[in-house]
Amino acid sequence: MGVCHQAARPSVLIRHAGRFSLLAALLLWSVSAVATPIAVRHSEGLVRGFLVLRAMDGTPLADGDLQQTAQGDRVTARLTFRFKDGSLHDETVVFSQRGNFRVLSDHLIQKGPSFPQPVDVTVDSAGGRVTVRYTDDGKPKVSEERLDFPPDLANGMMSILLKNVGADLSQTKMSMLAATPKPRLVTLAVTRAGEDTFHIGASTRKATHFIVKVEIGGLSGLVAPLVGKQPPDSHVWILGGDVPAFLKSEGPMYNGGPVWRIELASPEWPRLNPVRSTGN
């Protein structure tokens, strides 16, 4: 993007602000710290689960489907959300769980009315390559970059990593790739916020509440809150114990987007007439 030395008219700035706000915010991000990868405390295996994505007022927006398979230490997890307005969020992450969790590849697709900036991002962590397919002024474009991915990359597996954070850690940090035409690595600061109570029938349980904050380093980090660029914190609730489980999360799915809630979904069966006895 070239540098303009002539002051732009206010009308021009307003017309283009919406299109460039997402890219500009993410291009300011940088990694502020390097964290160590999360050790494998609970191995991942075969999983099939259903989720629901809601607005914060409870309105259902999309149905989610999680499919996960494992071959030795190599795990493939695909999470798909199909929106009622026809939008799609589809992410497939392949990771290793040999000693520590490590992302091998990640493929994210976001498109439709719910996503102002549709993207198709492919991350090859082992090869150090990222490919971003996007649309600019109605024209499809492709951006390819080479990056040195840190071993603590968390793309596509935040809930898995949080299930394995040791109880003795009050705070940890992870890296994440922010997908834009010019991809950037950012740091996520994860903090334990205590325990929250929830109920299953008459049973009362406790969930660990994690707060995930995006750290924007340097001068950009000082300016971001003043100009509205600082992303809101995300929140994740994990059931601890010997068999930990994801329960709920709240946060944006793209930069500048609204805060949405992801929860577990239960199958709903059609109401049937009771079976009548045919005995005499």
| pLDDT less than 50: residues of the chain | 1-34, 218-228
| pLDDT for res 138 | 81
Structure tokens at 273: 């007439």
pLDDT tens across 167-211, in order?
Answer: 888 889 999 998 766 788 889 999 999 999 999 999 999 999 999
User: Whose structure tokens read 């991809």?
Assistant: 183
pTM reported for the whole predicted model: 0.81
| pLDDT for res 23 | 37
| pLDDT for res 184 | 81
Q: Among 235, 208, 257, 198, which residue's Cα sits nearest to residue 61?
A: 257
| pLDDT for res 262 | 98
User: Whose structure tokens read 């951006």?
Assistant: 143
Alpha-helical runs (H) found in 209-248: 218-223
Residue 22 one-letter amino acid: L
